[in-house]
Structure 1
Amino acid sequence: MLFPKKLKLLFFFLSAPFFLLAQQGKLQALIVDAETNEPIIGASAALLDQQSKAYVQGAQTNVDGVLLFNAVDFGTYAIRITYVGKQDVLQDNIKIQATSGTNLGTIRLRDDGNTLQEIKVEGRAAEMKLGIDRKVFDVSQSLVSVGGTASDLLANVPTLQVDMDGSVSLRGSNAVKILIDGKESAMAGSDINSLLQSLPANAIDKVEIITNPSSKYDAEGQSGIINIVLKKNIRTGLNGSVNASGGSYNNYMAGVTLNYRDRKFNYFGSYNFNRRNSPGSGLRNNRYLHNNSEINNTEESSRKGINNTFKLGADYFIDDKTTIGVSGNLSIRDNDRSSSLFYTYRNHPTLNGTSTRTSTQDESDLGYDLNLDFSRKFRREGSELTANFSYGRDTEDGVNDFIQTYSSGMPNDGRINNTSEDGKVINIQLDYILPLGEDSKFEAGYRMIIRKSFDTQFSDTLNVQDNNYYPDYSISNDFDMTNTVHAWYANYQNKLTKRLGYQIGIRAEQAILNTSYFTKDPSIPVGQEETKGGLDYFRWYPSAFLTYEVGASGDKVQLSYTRRVQRPRGWQVNPFPDVSDEMNRREGNPNLMPEDIHSLELSFAKFYSKWNFISTLYYRRMNDVMQPYIYNVDDNSVTYSKWENLTSSNVAGLELISKVNVTKWWDVTWNGNFFYNKFEGNSDYDIQEQKGFNWNTNINTNLKFTSTWSMQVRGDYYAPNIRPQGKTKYMTGIDVAVKKEFMNKRASLALNVRDLLDTRRFGATTITPQINSSFEHRWMKRMFNLSFSYRFGTQDNSSKKRPQNDSGMDENGGNF
């Protein structure tokens, strides 16, 4: 292989000379509780210009209660320190005059004596934060998602969309990498959507959106990375919470979380139960051009699921600098889906009249993962080595059967499909951070991930003459896939001037894909029943970020470039047909190539005292775009589609995110994404050039009527979006929630209504030389939900052994 020679170039890059550091000062203080004299973890501080009181920097206290501002320009400042339940502290006339820095000593925060009847915002965390390569959204206070799942919550995050199958899209693309606490969830197996629909929304603290990830992170993900950060308890002693909710259509959820922490150990565990029931409906019109016929159908469906998730783990704090953690997750999921479709046939040569199709799908899923984490902080401040080993397995067994009855006297159709999936993921990761000065740091690491899956399908077809089922070997098969990726990366961050900073990085990945597919057809000669395939390639993935700080208010301009990849999934390369829908047969392509993506962004962040916004101009070039391609329609109007590298595409857009604090008790957040999409034509597949302007927007408003009553309203609109063989239809909806806190804010009761106007429907049109197709589907009707939550335990936040980065991913930036 060629990659050893290329690695020499990587090591040469790591040893390249670095730029000189800019001269700036720093500001430091120790924040403690005035009553107990214990350090306070997570207190927020804003550094302000002394004269204008404009925002300069934001920071939080670390595990030792230390507050640190780095890279502060010489001058005179004020500092404001806030913490939940404590009085704000404002200190003026702080002078930064020497590179050695200024130490404010110990600052003591006293209890807030204000009465509960006062109307005020009480230490609410920043809802949005702009980092050097990400946007961070605090969703811990989201009301419209209370009693829902992670999928429900992600649908309320700016720039994200969730479709009828729970698939998450970022800027209109569902080719996105989803991480949980900075790691790929091995427990999800091949279906991250099912895991998101079983994860309760109230377990999530924040969501990180990384549209242009640096070389430190996996190169996979066309539109970027979504990192879901789960809530952590940092209080000492025994703490926990219980919650329960119930809603329309017999939807229920309940959970308990426990945490015990002392100076040497942290033990944590949780259990969550979720019962889902989503009634839906849909309609479809297919017009077949080769015989001028039509098939229309209407559908009523129901999706039900019972999910049980368990988590258990412990952290051992060997000393102030070394931590070992072990944790495990278990998920037991049972999902059922039933549907009834009514077909009408017009002008069809072989089909006429009507038919009714009823189908059921039962799936049982067992998934688990084991994680071992190690972190070691060194003498140099900020220097750290982290390591992670994880192993996960997910097994799923399913039965899908249908029966189709025709009014014209044609023979009935029937089929039973038995499926089994067994997926395993092994992950080994090492990361090292080395600060080289006030503004510079070097990062390097290695990751190996192995994904193995074995899928089997056995199909029986109804014989109408004796009303018995017999094996159908033409679609009975086994599919074995192993996907291995070795990755090495290096990043260097520094400043050219006191305002101009940069980060450059390189990632080298060796990707190896091996596939084997076996037919169960006994007529195939021995030795010919197996077909092997594979792909082995090495690529460089560079990244570069250039950031300029405008003025003293924390405003930023950032230019970034990254190269990324989108690799095919198992179902996209499995050549055996999926016949879950007899009228639409789909198959994978073992020769499918990965997409190659080049991404360029220019961002500007503006911070005012009551109004902040982020604007991003972006461009994305994608080669070898993977899409399902309809290549045939037979005489019975059955469509056949196959995954192909159809074309190349160019996307250019403008994304805007803005938050306005209208009053102390009312804020509004708005997000808009406006983009131009162009799919190039491909004569080999008879695809014409497709281009058009698309946009989507959402708005979220929070109102705090009193210290214990609050309300949230959210609305969204998604305009039609083009695809290589058609376009999606528009979609819109409104969610509303009201919350009441009581028992000294340890307990709360929330009522929310999802899709208040009952308007959310997903639809699309497909246009090919053989067929014009249009469909619309409503996967969930208007839903009411009532939720109760109670928190118990100590109020001491003084533990000194908390890792600084719970998400497993770096954060740098200003608060919203």
Structure 2
Amino acid sequence: MKKLFSIIILLTITTWSEVFAQEVNVEDLPIRIVGVAVTGDAEEPVPYATAALVNPEDGTTIAGAVADGDGKFFIAGIDKVGTYNLLLSFIGFEARSVKGIEVTSLKGEINLGNIRMEDEGVALDEVTVQGQRELIEERVDRTIYKAENDKTTAGGDATDVLRRVPMLSVDLDGNVSMRGSSNIQVLIDNRPSAIAASSIADALSQIPAEEIKAVEVITSPSARFDAEGTSGVINIVTKKNNLTGMSLNVRSGAGLRGSNLSLNGSARTKKLGFSVGGFGRAGYNILGRFENEQLITNPDNTTSRILQSADTKSNRLFGRYNFGVDYDIDKYNFLTGAVNFGIRNSNNFQENFLTQNFSGEQLIREQLRETDVADKSNTVDVSVNYTRTYEEKGKEFSILTLYSQNTRENSFTNLLFEDDFETINSRIRNDNPSRNQEFTAQLDFVDPMGKDGEAILEYGAKNILRRAFSDFAYFEAEGEDGEFIENENPNLNNELTYDQNVTAGYASYTFKFLKDYTLKTGLRYEYTMINADFQTELEADIPSYGTLVPSINASRRMSNGNLIKAAYNRRISRPSLRFINPNIDASNPNQISQGNPLLDPELTDNYELSYSTFFKGAILNFSSFYRNTTGSIQAVRTIRDDDVIFTTYENIGQEQAIGTSFFTNITVGSKLSFNGGFDVYYAMLDNGLSDPDLAAQNEGFVVSGRMFGNYTLPKDWQVQLFTFARGRRVQLQGLSGGFAVYGLSINKQFQEKRGSIGFGAENFLSKEFVIRNELATPTIMQNSTSALQNMNFKINFSYRIGKLSMDDRPRRRRKSVNNDDLKGGESNDQGMGQGNN
């Protein structure tokens, strides 16, 4: 292990030594082209615009760069003299072309000055940009995936989009992880959602891919963000605009495994705007199977063996509906409001659920079951926000409010058959209705300071009031028609009310120094009060606690235009309802699980270093990180009577990860582009216990990678290919299996790009694929296999009715509440709230 660490540290030091060695004095640099992207009125820069130097003869990209926060870009890597064109692009602006740039020498500098970029014209559907827009954009504090340029996700949902995003991994159940950690927060348009609060996976399945403009990955959140989230924050940006007029978009899709339909309309005058929309998605024919083998060492050193197998089937129905309004009171004051509703109806069946118990090689018992798991929920978010701007550029005050509620019904019914496997012997039902309510009020103030506002002071306060309620009960019945009778055991029949009050204040200061350096420091303090109460004799005494959270983000723009970033922050992860819910899940009687209301939060220190460079049509990004978590919330498995594996959660031990990631975006000519990358990290988990029956330690590498290709054909046709794969993942007591997904699609636009039709195929080379998981403790060895039939063929259609034009209002950043202070992550997560800020 020590040798391994030595090798990793040596490779990291060597890599970064080479990176820093690239800097040279300006006068020694080869030829470079410098310019500044500004708005059409030249009043403001266009930060992070993409600049590409193109050969006018064949359209190939010679070199490129991304502008900094002031719109300035440096294009280096030009290896021969000649005449070139410059293509400047950014979301929301028309592509700008500067032709006839003469490079007569390979030394010196060509300064193009200010290059004006206009908003995307009067008739947006008539704007044509030759060449591929970049899919990846690197900013000082985040990485942005421009999902609106990815047509392979048409007819899909946010899950399909996130599988293409650098540094993210999405498993087959829709659970998201960032750099190996599932402790992340997902925002929708910079604010939390009760849909995401109950389950990240469910939230992603309810958002249509066509409505997503971009996905922002924030690996090192500043003090403005809530202190939760080991890995960071994901912000899903939906398509919004500054348009006037009326429009209606219709989208639909149908496939072997699912169908969808969405209608979205908008109407806007100069001061008042409305939007309304609805989306429905059905999943069907989701078939699979699972097998499970358990070897248990008994106290007398004898071995018990259990074999389980079943056929699985799932049906799902999701819906999401929204209404939004914004009103500009005057030049400096404006209001926004929104109401969002979500519904979810999921049924999962296990048929031919056979359990065989062996003593040695002798079969001693055989049981057949059928299991029906129902998961239904409805959610509502209501937000009202006020923002005040000032004559001084960048100065802003805001009052933000949000109310969220999630009502969920989770239940299962088990049918146990007689020995003849035909007659029903008994039935067991578990009902677990739950409700999560949250109210947030927040004040933020942004105050530019110094000459030209080069420094920014941000400060604010926030209060989150939460209440989670879980009512759980077990019922038993004889035979097929017997009446269900409620079990009176308080461990199986009880109510939990969990109140949480989080009060926070923060201050953050951003400034530039030594010309090319930017530093953003911040400090946040959060005080949490918790009260947990059971209806019956059970008790839960949880003390209040305060947390001080520092953060530092630094960046340097090198003289050749490349960017180096370094960051440190501390994060806190409070357990969500999934981890504290005392309801016993015994849908599989041989593997039961229960939450722990007495869990403490876990604390994580994150360190990150990254480097971005550009070269001959390619964007390259390298990053490395180290993460150390104390009081890590981990699943703990033990053996109970009758060889039952019992799973709960504890704050035990330490979790560490050290790793690196790489991704690139390459443009070949004006028609072909690729992007992809890989992530690799070394995970180390240790519960720190000395008892040999309870001690657990595990470590190992986890590798994942992705690749996306796009080719533009004549007459508005496009072909796109995507693939993603993740190797097995290290857990405290075993390993979870790896998997791979892929897809191919072709898309045709018509009616002057008002409409499109697409055809796609997913995972079409095999009927099913298999995932194998392993659990290992001193007394338990378990190997499970899950197979899923996910081959899918689909057709997608969209059409836009109406026409929108740009109004003359200034662009304003719409603000909203962002909560991100709960640990969640699994598909059955029932957390109380998620988000950031």
TM-score w.r.t. length of structure 2: 0.82
Inter-partner Cα distance in structure 2 for 1:379 and 1:162: 45
Inter-partner Cα distance in structure 1 for 2:595 and 2:570: 26
Inter-partner Cα distance in structure 1 for 2:667 and 2:36: 28
Partner of 2:773: 764
Q: Which amino acid aligns with 2:467?
A: K
Inter-partner Cα distance in structure 1 for 2:53 and 2:761: 43
Aligned counterpart for 1:658 among listed residues 655, 659, 664: 664
**More deviation in 462-471 or 182-191?**
462-471
Inter-partner Cα distance in structure 1 for 2:145 and 2:388: 28
Q: Say if 2:355 is the partner of 1:340.
A: no
2:400/2:816 contact within 8 Å kept: no
Q: Which amino acid aligns with 1:431?
A: D
Aligned counterpart for 1:600 among listed residues 595, 599, 607: 607
Partner of 1:441: 456
3-state SS of paired residue (1:140): helix
Q: Say if 2:493 is the partner of 1:476.
A: yes
Partner of 2:440: 427
Partner of 1:405: 417
Q: Which has the higher contact order (CA 8 A, sep 6+)?
A: 2
Question: Over residues 259-305 of structure 1, what are the superposed CA-to-partner deviations in whole Å (9 max), with x where a residue is unaligned?
Answer: 11121111111011211223232221112222423222222222212
**Per-residue deviation at 1:141?**
2.5
Inter-partner Cα distance in structure 1 for 2:755 and 2:503: 48
Partner of 1:510: 527
Distance 1:53 1:719, change over 3 A: closer
Aligned counterpart for 1:569 among listed residues 576, 586, 594: 576
Distance 1:134 1:29, change over 3 A: closer
1:535-614 equivalences in 2 (<5 Å): 535-552=543-560, 554-614=561-621
2:355/2:367 contact within 8 Å kept: yes
**Per-residue deviation at 1:195?**
2.4
Inter-partner Cα distance in structure 1 for 2:120 and 2:153: 33
2:385/2:816 contact within 8 Å kept: no
Partner of 2:468: 453
1:164-313 equivalences in 2 (<5 Å): 164-249=172-257, 251-277=258-284, 278-290=286-298, 291-313=302-324
1:317-328 equivalences in 2 (<5 Å): 317-328=328-339
Q: Which amino acid aligns with 1:763?
A: R
**Per-residue deviation at 1:631?**
2.2
Q: Which amino acid aligns with 2:579?
A: Q
1:220/1:564 contact within 8 Å kept: yes
3-state SS of paired residue (2:343): strand
**Per-residue deviation at 1:609?**
4.1
Inter-partner Cα distance in structure 1 for 2:120 and 2:177: 43
2:531/2:542 contact within 8 Å kept: yes
2:413/2:427 contact within 8 Å kept: yes
Inter-partner Cα distance in structure 1 for 2:253 and 2:708: 23
Inter-partner Cα distance in structure 2 for 1:705 and 1:72: 32
Question: Over residues 739-797 of structure 1, what are the superposed CA-to-partner deviations in whole Å (9 max), with x where a residue is unaligned?
Answer: 11111111111112222334554432001122111112235521111110112322422
Q: Which amino acid aligns with 1:301?
A: T
Q: Say if 2:366 is the partner of 1:360.
A: no
3-state SS of paired residue (1:532): coil
Question: Over residues 240-259 of structure 1, what are the superposed CA-to-partner deviations in whole Å (9 max), with x where a residue is unaligned?
Answer: 3110111104x221011111
Question: Over residues 518-550 of structure 1, what are the superposed CA-to-partner deviations in whole Å (9 max), with x where a residue is unaligned?
Answer: 34xxxxxxxxx3523323111111111221111
Aligned counterpart for 2:796 among listed residues 787, 793, 814: 787
Partner of 1:531: 539
Q: Say if 2:626 is the partner of 1:619.
A: yes
**Per-residue deviation at 1:652?**
0.4
Partner of 2:388: 376
2:48/2:139 contact within 8 Å kept: no
2:745/2:759 contact within 8 Å kept: yes
**Per-residue deviation at 1:321?**
2.5
Aligned counterpart for 1:128 among listed residues 136, 141, 154: 136
1:164/1:778 contact within 8 Å kept: no
3-state SS of paired residue (1:575): coil
Inter-partner Cα distance in structure 2 for 1:688 and 1:246: 47
3-state SS of paired residue (1:683): coil
Distance 1:125 1:389, change over 3 A: farther
Distance 1:89 1:716, change over 3 A: closer
Q: Which amino acid aligns with 1:452?
A: R
Distance 1:352 1:624, change over 3 A: same
Inter-partner Cα distance in structure 2 for 1:154 and 1:103: 36
2:152/2:744 contact within 8 Å kept: yes
Inter-partner Cα distance in structure 1 for 2:695 and 2:516: 49
Inter-partner Cα distance in structure 2 for 1:432 and 1:203: 30
3-state SS of paired residue (1:794): strand
Aligned counterpart for 2:699 among listed residues 685, 688, 691: 691
Gaps in structure 2 of 5+ consecutive residues: 1-33, 55-60, 76-83, 103-111, 819-837
3-state SS of paired residue (2:205): helix
**Per-residue deviation at 1:109?**
9.5
Aligned counterpart for 1:645 among listed residues 640, 647, 651: 651
Gaps in structure 1 of 5+ consecutive residues: 1-24, 33-37, 61-67, 95-100, 520-528, 810-816
Partner of 2:428: 415
Give percent identity, aligned residues only: 23
1:355/1:405 contact within 8 Å kept: yes
Q: Which amino acid aligns with 1:432?
A: F
Inter-partner Cα distance in structure 2 for 1:305 and 1:340: 17
3-state SS of paired residue (1:319): coil
What do you get for the CA RMSD once the two structures are aligned?
3.6
Q: Say if 2:152 is the partner of 1:139.
A: no
Partner of 1:58: 67
Question: Over residues 694-747 of structure 1, what are the superposed CA-to-partner deviations in whole Å (9 max), with x where a residue is unaligned?
Answer: 211111111112251111111122112211111112212221111111111111
Partner of 1:7: none
1:718-737 equivalences in 2 (<5 Å): 718-737=726-745
**More deviation in 255-264 or 791-800?**
791-800
3-state SS of paired residue (2:203): helix
Distance 1:87 1:398, change over 3 A: closer
Partner of 1:64: none
Aligned counterpart for 1:462 among listed residues 471, 474, 477: 477
**More deviation in 149-158 or 377-386?**
149-158
Inter-partner Cα distance in structure 2 for 1:54 and 1:304: 49
**Per-residue deviation at 1:389?**
0.6
Inter-partner Cα distance in structure 2 for 1:109 and 1:190: 38
**Per-residue deviation at 1:55?**
5.0
Q: Say if 2:812 is the partner of 1:800.
A: no
3-state SS of paired residue (1:672): strand
Partner of 1:21: none
1:45/1:80 contact within 8 Å kept: no
Inter-partner Cα distance in structure 1 for 2:45 and 2:806: 6
Partner of 2:17: none
2:416/2:424 contact within 8 Å kept: no
Distance 1:711 1:370, change over 3 A: same
Inter-partner Cα distance in structure 2 for 1:678 and 1:339: 35
Inter-partner Cα distance in structure 2 for 1:40 and 1:504: 25
Aligned counterpart for 1:88 among listed residues 84, 90, 96: 96
1:386/1:432 contact within 8 Å kept: yes
1:494/1:502 contact within 8 Å kept: yes
Inter-partner Cα distance in structure 1 for 2:119 and 2:296: 76
3-state SS of paired residue (1:316): strand
**More deviation in 285-294 or 169-178?**
285-294
